[in-house]
Structure 1
Amino acid sequence: MHRYYGRHPFAAEELPFRRDGFIRAGAITGLAGERLALSQLPPFLRALLATDGTVTKILEAYFWEPLVVETLEQRLETATEPVPWLEIERGDRCMLRDAQLRGSESGRCFAEAFSLIRIEFIPDDFRQRLIDREIGIGVLIRDSGLESYREVLDIGLDRLANGESAVFRTYRIIIARRPVILITEYFPLALYGKP
C-alpha cells in the first residue's frame, strides 16, 4: 500500500489519456528521472497504457493464448497513511493483491498487477469471489454486471522484482460513483519489444 502514500489527486485535465488516446508530446518518466517519449514505445504497449478496458481480454487477443490470473499474494492491511486516490484514511482496512497474468499454454508472464481494494464498498457476492481468487478483477467486474468506470491516473517506467524494465499504468475503478479499486499494471518491455 505504501506505493500510493503521498500521491495526490490530479485535476481532471492532468490525467493521462483522460479524453484521448493520443498525446503528441507525451512522455513517461522512470524512478531515476529518465524520460521516454510515448511515440518510441511499441504501438501495442501504448494501447495498453491508454485502454480503459479489460487488459486480460486484450492480451489474449494479441498473443492468441488464454490467460490465467495467478494470485501471488492476497492479504488485508490497515492503512498507516491516507491514499487520496481511493479516499482511504489512516486506519482504513483494505485488501492488497499481487497477481500475474500468465499464458495458460506458454507460461509466459504478460503482466504483473498490484491492487488495492476497498472491500467494504463492493457487493458481498463480488467480495467473496474476489477473496476466493476465482478470476481476475476485470473479468469479475464484467461477469458480475457491475457498472464501473476506469480512470488512468499515472503512467511511467519502473523495474520488476527480477530487475527487468517495465512500463506501468495505475488506474482506479469507480463503482457506484465511489473509487473502490486501485490497480497498477506492469508490462515488461522485453516482452513487448524495447523502444
Structure 2
Amino acid sequence: MIVYKEIAELNKRFPLLNEEKILLGTDGSVTNILEILFEGDCKVETINQKIVDNTNYREVILKVNNIPLVYAISKTPFKNIEEENLREEIKRDLLSADIPIGKIIRKHNLETRREIKFIGIEKVDERLKTLLKTNYAQLPKRTYNIIYKNKILMEITEVFCIRGKLK
C-alpha cells in the first residue's frame, strides 16, 4: 500500500482535515500526535477488555483534556512476544492500567514499526456517536499492525473524531 496515494484518493471522496491525513498516514505514535494537537496528556478509557486464547482484545476511547478523540480496538497475541518477562509486563500494562499503546511501547523501549493495512471512512453508529460525543455520520478509520521482531505485536483499528474539536 502506498499510503499517501490511498489518503489522496480518500480525500477526493471525503474531504479530510490535514490533521486527519496525518493521523491516518502516520507510522509513528498516534498518542504523541494527539498530545501535540490538543496540548495535553492522552488518557485511555477502557470500554471492554478480554483475553481469549492468549490474545488480549481491548476496546478504548483515547482522550486528551477529557475530549474523546479516537475509538480504538486492539488485538495483542501474547504468543508473539518471545521474551517471557516482557510478555508479562505488557500483559500487566494492558490489563491493569489505562495506558495508551504508544506509551506502553515507549515505556518498554521497544523498537517497532507500523504497517498500515487499511485506510477508509467508517459509518458511525449511535453507540460510537455517543462514545465519541459527535454527530458526524462518517469518520476516518484505519487498521494497522505494530511489528516487533518481525512478528505482529498488535493489530489496531482506529476511528478518528477530531473534527470540530480542534481550536
Q: TM-score range by the shorter chain?
A: 0.7 to 0.9
Q: Tell whether the 8 Å contact from 1:100 to 1:112 is kept in structure 2 after alignment.
A: yes
Q: 1:145 aligns with which of 99, 106, 109?
A: 109
Q: 1:110 aligns with which of 69, 75, 93?
A: 69
CA distance in 2, matches of 1:158, 1:134: 25
* 1:63 equivalenced with 2:50 (yes/no): no
Cα deviation for residue 112 of structure 1 reads 0.9
Q: SS in structure 1 opposite 2:31?
A: helix
Q: How do residues 70-85 of structure 1 correspond to structure 2 at under 5 angstroms? A: 70-78=45-53
Q: SS in structure 2 opposite 1:52?
A: coil
* 1:99 equivalenced with 2:60 (yes/no): yes
CA distance in 1, matches of 2:40, 2:46: 19
Q: 1:49 to 1:75 in 2, by over 3 A?
A: same
* 1:42 equivalenced with 2:23 (yes/no): no
CA distance in 2, matches of 1:97, 1:16: 28
Report percent identity of matched pairs: 28
Specify the code of the residue in structure 1 equivalent to 2:41: P
Structure 2 unaligned residues grouped into runs of 5+: 82-86, 130-134
Match of 1:135 in 2: 99
Runs of 4+, deviation exceeding 6 Å = none
CA distance in 2, matches of 1:124, 1:24: 37
Q: SS in structure 1 opposite 2:163?
A: helix
Question: TM-score scaled to structure 2, two decimals?
Answer: 0.80
Q: SS in structure 2 opposite 1:40?
A: coil
Cα deviation for residue 39 of structure 1 reads 8.3
Q: 1:120 aligns with which of 79, 87, 101?
A: 79
* 1:124-163 alpha-carbon deviations (Å, 9 max, x no partner): 2222212213411111011101121111110111133227
CA distance in 1, matches of 2:6, 2:77: 35
Match of 1:23 in 2: 5
Report the count of equivalent residues: 152
CA distance in 2, matches of 1:100, 1:166: 15
